[in-house]
Amino acid sequence: MGRKRRNTNIQKFTGSMQKKLTVLFFLILAAFLGLTIRLYAINRDNGEEYKKQVLSQQEYDSIALPAKRGEIIDRNGTKIAVSQKVYNVIVDSKSLNDKEGQFLEPTLNILFDTDIDFLYTREELKDFILSNPTSQYRIVAKKQEYETISPLMEKLGNKAEYPNLKGVWLENTYQREYPYGSLACDVIGFVQGDNEGAYGLEEYYNTTLVGTDGREYGYLNDDENLERTIKSPDNGKTLVTSIDVNIQSIVEKHILAFNEEHENEYREGAGSKNTGVIIMNPNTGEILAMASYPVYDLNNPRDITGLDIQVSEEYTTQGNIDIDVNDEKEPEEEASEGVEQVIDEDNSPVSGNTVTAPAGSDIEEVDIAPEKPKTYEEAYEDAKMEALNALWKNFCITTTYEPGSTYKPFTMAAGIEEGIFTGNETFNCTGVKEVGDHEIHCNNRLGHGQLTFSGALEQSCNVAFMDMGARIGKTLFMKYNRLYNFGLKTNVDLTGEALTNTLVFDVNRMVPTDLAISSFGQGFNVTMIQMISGFCSLINGGYYYQPHIVTRIINDDGATVKNIEPRVIKQTVSAETSEKMVELCNNVVSEGTGKTARPAGYRIGGKTGTAEKYPRKTGNYVVSFMGYAPADDPQIVIYTVIDTPNVESQPHARYATLLTRDILTEVLPYMHVFMTEELTDEEKAELDAAALTFAQSSNKTLSENTVSENSVEEEKPDDSVIVFEDEKPEEKKPEYSLDPATGYPIDPATGAVLDPSTGQPIDPTVSDLE
Amino acid sequence: MSEPERRRKPNKDKAFFDYTMLFIVLFLLCFGLVMLYSVSSYESSLDFGDSAYYLKKQAQATLVGVVFMFIVMMIDYHFWRRFAVPAYLVSVVLVLLVLTPLGYEVNGAKRWLNIGISVQPAEAAKVGMIIFFAAYVCRIGKNVQTLKGVVRTLLLGVPISAFVLFITENLSTAIIIFGIIFMMVFVATPNYKEYFLLGLGIVAVAAVFVVLVQKGVLTSEQSYRFGRIEAWLNPEAYSGTTGFQTLQALYAIGSGEIFGKGLGQSMQKLGFVPEAQNDMVFSIICEELGLFGAFMVLLMFILLIWRFLVVANNAEDMFGALIVVGVMAHISLQVILNVAVVTNTIPNTGITLPFISYGGSAVVFLLIEIGLVFSVSRRIRLKNPGNEG
């Protein structure tokens, strides 16, 4: 061992030291051995468990890639509902607290140097990051648009220039946007919560629109290597609807105008309890426009400003018109018991009916109030939700009401189809008809006298129709009632259609008075969509088309996935009967009660309706007009319903006919329907005053047609609207003062409202006998 | 093994060069760089957009270290003996310098000096202490064998260890520095019993602390070190906080099986084992290369330590031998403690794995130490050239 050294100055590493070093070496070796055993033990004892643990941790690594919700576009490709890619900003406090938090300030500087709308102030966010050092996922800004987020995105992608930007990442999602705000809100519906459609097309077609989320995830391949895979999201499909944004906005503009005109006129509140308009193509069942009042902003459906929230029990007491699927009454009983009070259109509400209401009818009217909420907050919350639900629901398909005289063409068509009427019948109206034990009055208490078959419809004579009903008989009457689809759903492709099977008469329980009043459209309930779909079949040759809104479903790449062709459900009447009905309804507008519905320059047909609401004798009416244009070849059918107009004297179908007229005056030229009638000087003056110049079919080509730009230009919030080349950008205000209630011109000298057809002053408070 | 060889006829002019050790060192360096790249590429590409960020920095430091190693190797190690006292003082000053504006914090601990390049003074102190105590033990000669000499020597190691412990708050480096001195003294003295008792005493004190922590007398609120003992006793209970790193490292080790998932195939390095390129690199080696790979790495360290044993036992004089003992103590302590931490055999304390963990100062000073060992080995005169190395 000991080495010999000549240099004795040098201390040697002695043998004992060498021995000790060797001992140390073996001690170290023992430690290594111990650790080796420890390593082996970990693998032996916990290997399987830890292996699973490692794999299970990997699963957290998968990221959902949201699918884009399909769009909803109108017949011309205008986007009504779109999904915008938006970004959430996520902050990872943990990595911002790393390295002594040296990245915190620079990162905050960059974040708050952008236009991003953060949920927190800079100080709040800093406090949050410092007090939650383990948090790795905190959304600090929600649904920011690309333009806002792109500067940050660039900085995040540029690590070389922004090395201190840490712990921030972006997550993309989609936000539903409705470029037109409240336009067609009842038809479209909105999206709530987790991409869940509510109401309208959004709910009905939710599964089509929603698509399938994709996922980015890691998985182990056969060699147990981790691989990452992206399963792309399957974007939702786009709905092409039959709605025409321009027609829809014309309709909504006039509904709004009507309701604003009559706001607070007779009582506090809106111009009507509700106003609904549907425009439909009778030859396909496609709905061109469907609107009601009030409307709500689809981009902010829960906005309650302007909403009348009544926190009281009174709130639950509703008129008959609000019966819906959840709130059904027994119309048969009501009708048979309350029949004495039935008054048809154009009758004065204070007519001094001789028959008193039978005992118990009032009790029928009392709604069962829901359980009284415990606190005011709860009651308020309930009332708010009820008010919102009332706002969101689609009046045109959900609300049921008694149609009134607009049902008369249906009665007539049944009789003609069955050969009961030849068209040569005459009727004698004395103003009242005794049915069973009851006297049922005509709208004209003095009686219409002798009426021809056509005259009965033109004058909307209840007595004549009660006679017709009696001659048809209840069995046939109800057979046709069912054939016209009353009591059944139309299956229009919208959520919330009311089921009316209990709201129509049961033929076995029908008494003569039931038949009498149903012949002029009282005593049973319908929805607007049922009425217009049935009426379309009366004038289109007898084909009952299933009403629908979506005409095509296209996928993300623009390829058509499904075409929804017009679907004839059944034949209601023959082509001959239909032809006859067109002729009869044309007469209503040219000779009878529907005169005021005719837009200048056009011939149209239709039928008015004025139905007294429950409870009877309170002066509340549903006034309506069912019309079509042009008269000789119907291209569109329009149905206007005004529930409880806010006027002193309600029972005037004029409110509906004038609204219809205003709408058609703009819609028909827009649809390139040519004027066929001579314009009177007054009409010309009126059209000029409204700055509406129309194409004369004789000397102008299609492209030169001038269309009213009012609705299109004003209500267009983005550039995606198809701009018609014949639009004129300039806009003129009417210079001619018009009566706000009727739209009739006002004599500037006397201030009296003038009847445009006679030029004579008329008194608006006097019942309109038409 | 070497003993009979040396008994043969010596050729004093033939210089000895330990190629075995050179091979082992270069192998560990290269292996370390490969593993470092594998472990750090994911996180560095996330953090810096460059998967080779850590690799590049470490490779630069390694190159510098290798240059220093050869320079030191060429210099006769006796040259350093006259700098023994300055080495001690410089070590102390360097550690104290972190209190000046030159010092800066990383991850909550003030351990770094920024003098153009960033340096961990504690790493330099390890080299300084090895030289100082080798010289000191030689200087007091036989006195070291007395109890007084032992106590005095050990007491000399207390200030530097205390500075490291309290100023840089680096318990593990303090333990290692004191451990190096302790082992050098152990080798230089003939007794066993005292060291055995001392070792027993240290274990007993540690056990008392552990029991107190276990009983809840000492908690993490008093010192984060007690929190680490809590996490060590029951890592699952602290899986979200103090036990997270340890537990993830255990998952990595346990999921590696015999031959591992394959180089570069670790899942735990994908953000689960925090700072895997530093203290926890061994767990990723276990995961990727399996038990087999881990044993091979440990075997390389054993071989290196065995070479140190050979060089020390054949050193020209006691100063050289003690330098080698110091380096041997340093490396073996660090490997043992690192692996013990990774396997949760002892509470978590930040100790890097020599040659493999990321750390520029560590590898440079480590290679300087290796240079010293080479310098010592070069003075060995072989009696039978060609059989050694």
pLDDT score, position B22: 94
Of the candidates B141, B241, B343, the beta carbon closest to that of A35 is on: B343
Tokens of A60: 């957290």
pLDDT score, position A485: 92
A10 vs B104, more confident: B104
Q: Which residues pair with A311 in a beta bridge?
A: none
Per-residue pLDDT averaged across B126-146, rounded? 90
| Least confident stretch, A261-265, A464-468, A734-738 | A734-738
Q: Which residues of A touch B187 (CB under 8 A)?
A: 17, 20-21, 24
Q: What are the pLDDT digits (tens) for A287-305?
A: 999 999 888 999 888 888 7
CB within 8 Å: A13 and B318: yes
* CB A644 within 8 Å of CB A622: yes
pLDDT score, position B103: 81
Residue B92's pLDDT band (cuts 50, 70, 90):
very high
pLDDT score, position A218: 66
Q: What are the pLDDT digits (tens) for A23-79?
A: 999 999 999 999 999 999 998 988 888 888 887 776 555 677 888 899 999 999 999
pLDDT score, position B55: 93
Distance of alpha carbon A360 from alpha carbon A330, whole angstroms: 14
pLDDT score, position B302: 96
| Least confident stretch, A160-169, A518-527, B56-65, B157-166 | A160-169
Residue A8's pLDDT band (cuts 50, 70, 90):
very low
Per-residue pLDDT averaged across B310-321, rounded? 91
Residue A764's pLDDT band (cuts 50, 70, 90):
very low
Residue B292 identity (one-letter amino acid): F
Residue A727 pLDDT more than 70?
no
pLDDT score, position A74: 92
Residue A336's pLDDT band (cuts 50, 70, 90):
very low
Q: What ipTM does this complex have? A: 0.92
Of the candidates B105, B254, B268, the beta carbon closest to that of A43 is on: B254
Max mean pLDDT range (A104-108, A170-174, A526-530, A697-701): A526-530
Residue identified by tokens 């006097």 is A766
β-pairing verdict for A238-241 and A432-435: unpaired
Residue environment code for B264-276, b if the CB has 16+ CB neighbours within 10 A, otherwise e:
ebbbbbbebbebb
What does pLDDT average to over chain B?
Answer: 86
Q: Which residues of B touch A10 (CB under 8 A)?
A: 316-318
pLDDT score, position A640: 94
Burial of A691 (C-beta count, 10 Å sphere; 0-12/13-18/19+): middle
Q: Which residues pair with A245 in a beta bridge?
A: none
pLDDT score, position A99: 65
Name the minimum distance, in Å, from the CA of A70 to any CA of chain B: 35
Name the minimum distance, in Å, from the CA of A71 to any CA of chain B: 37
Residue A514 pLDDT more than 70?
yes
Tell me, yes or no, if A430 comes closer than 8 A to chain B by beta carbon: no
Residue A161's pLDDT band (cuts 50, 70, 90):
confident
DSSP annotation of A212 reads B
| Least confident stretch, A447-456, A670-679, A732-741, B231-240 | A732-741
Residue identified by tokens 């290594």 is A32
Burial of A421 (C-beta count, 10 Å sphere; 0-12/13-18/19+): buried
Q: Closest-CA residue in chain A for B248? A: A54
Tell me, yes or no, if B309 comes closer than 8 A to chain A by beta carbon: yes
Tell me, yes or no, if A42 comes closer than 8 A to chain B by beta carbon: yes
Name the minimum distance, in Å, from the CA of A149 to any CA of chain B: 21
Residue A733 pLDDT more than 90?
no
Q: Which residues of B touch A47 (CB under 8 A)?
A: 254-255, 257
pLDDT score, position B107: 64
Name the minimum distance, in Å, from the CA of A112 to any CA of chain B: 22
pLDDT score, position B354: 94
Which residues touch A76 (CB under 8 Å, ≥6 apart)?
A: A244, A245, A722
User: Which of B267, B286, B337 has the highest number of chain A CBs within 10 A, making it the mutation to test binding with A?
Assistant: B267
B342 vs A703, more confident: B342
Q: Which residues of B touch A4 (CB under 8 A)?
A: none
pLDDT score, position A312: 57
Residue B298 pLDDT more than 80?
yes
Name the minimum distance, in Å, from the CA of B103 to any CA of chain A: 14
* CB A205 within 8 Å of CB A550: yes
Tell me, yes or no, if B294 comes closer than 8 A to chain A by beta carbon: yes
Beta strands in A546-691 (DSSP E): 550-554, 560-563, 568-571, 605-612, 621-629, 636-645
Q: What structural domains does chain A harbor? A: 63-241 (3.90.1310.10)
Distance of alpha carbon B368 from alpha carbon B59, whole angstroms: 16
- In chain B, domain spans: 16-74+223-383, 77-191
Residue B287 pLDDT more than 50?
yes
Tell me, yes or no, if A37 comes closer than 8 A to chain B by beta carbon: no
Q: Find out whether the peptide bond into A630 is cis, omega within 30 degrees of 0.
A: yes
Of the candidates B49, B188, B316, the beta carbon closest to that of A159 is on: B49
Residue A325's pLDDT band (cuts 50, 70, 90):
very low
Q: Is the dihedral of CA A637, A641, A647, A648 positive or negative?
A: positive
Per-window interface: B 12-71 vs A, CB < 8 A: 47-49
Q: Closest-CA residue in chain A for B315? A: A13
Name the minimum distance, in Å, from the CA of A23 to any CA of chain B: 9
pLDDT score, position A265: 85
Taking CA atoms, A557 is separated from A173, A339, A549, A561, in Å, by 20, 59, 22, 10
| Least confident stretch, A468-477, A541-550, B138-147, B277-286 | B138-147
pLDDT score, position A346: 39
Name the minimum distance, in Å, from the CA of A111 to any CA of chain B: 18
pLDDT score, position A5: 41
Q: What are the pLDDT digits (tens) for A130-154?
A: 888 777 788 888 888 888 888 888 8
Per-window interface: B 104-143 vs A, CB < 8 A: 105-108, 138, 141
Residue B377 pLDDT more than 50?
yes
CB within 8 Å: A21 and B187: yes
Per-residue pLDDT averaged across B361-387, rounded? 83
Per-residue pLDDT averaged across A249-278, rounded? 89
What does pLDDT average to over chain A?
Answer: 78
Max mean pLDDT range (A107-116, A510-519, B211-220): A510-519
DSSP B90-133: HHHHHHHHTTSTTEEEETTEEEEEEESEEE-HHHHHHHHHHHHH
Q: What are the pLDDT digits (tens) for B319-333?
A: 999 999 999 999 999
DSSP B346-361: S-----PPTTTSS-HH
Residue A530 pLDDT more than 90?
yes
Q: Which residues of A touch B298 (CB under 8 A)?
A: 32, 35-36
Tell me, rounded to whole angstroms, the distance of Cα B123 from its chain centroid.
9
Residue B132's pLDDT band (cuts 50, 70, 90):
very high
CB within 8 Å: A11 and B319: yes
Residue B12 pLDDT more than 90?
no
What is the percent of chain A with per-residue pLDDT over 90, rounded to a whole number?
34
Tokens of B162: 């205390």
Per-window interface: B 166-225 vs A, CB < 8 A: 183, 186-190, 192
- How many distinct helices (H) and strands (E) make up chain A? 23, 27
Distance of alpha carbon A112 from alpha carbon A127, whole angstroms: 15
Q: Which residues of B touch A5 (CB under 8 A)?
A: 316-317
Q: What are the pLDDT digits (tens) for B252-272?
A: 998 888 898 888 888 888 778
Distance of alpha carbon A259 from alpha carbon A271, whole angstroms: 4
Distance of alpha carbon A62 from alpha carbon A385, whole angstroms: 38
Q: What are the pLDDT digits (tens) for A372-413?
A: 546 777 788 888 888 888 889 899 999 999 999 999 999 999
pLDDT score, position A339: 37
Taking CA atoms, A410 is separated from A359, A416, A657, in Å, by 33, 10, 19
Distance of alpha carbon A215 from alpha carbon A228, whole angstroms: 10
Per-residue pLDDT averaged across B109-128, rounded? 84
Q: What are the pLDDT digits (tens) for B175-194?
A: 999 999 999 999 988 888 88
Q: Find out whether the peptide bond into A729 is cis, omega within 30 degrees of 0.
A: no
Residue A575's pLDDT band (cuts 50, 70, 90):
very high
Q: What are the pLDDT digits (tens) for B28-87?
A: 999 999 999 999 888 888 777 788 899 999 999 999 999 999 999 999 999 999 999 999
Residue A284 pLDDT more than 90?
yes
Per-residue pLDDT averaged across A336-348, rounded? 38
| Least confident stretch, A210-214, A695-699, B216-220, B274-278 | A695-699
Question: Where does residue A447 fall: left (phi above 0), alpha (psi -120 to 50 degrees), or beta otherwise?
Answer: left
pLDDT score, position A710: 40
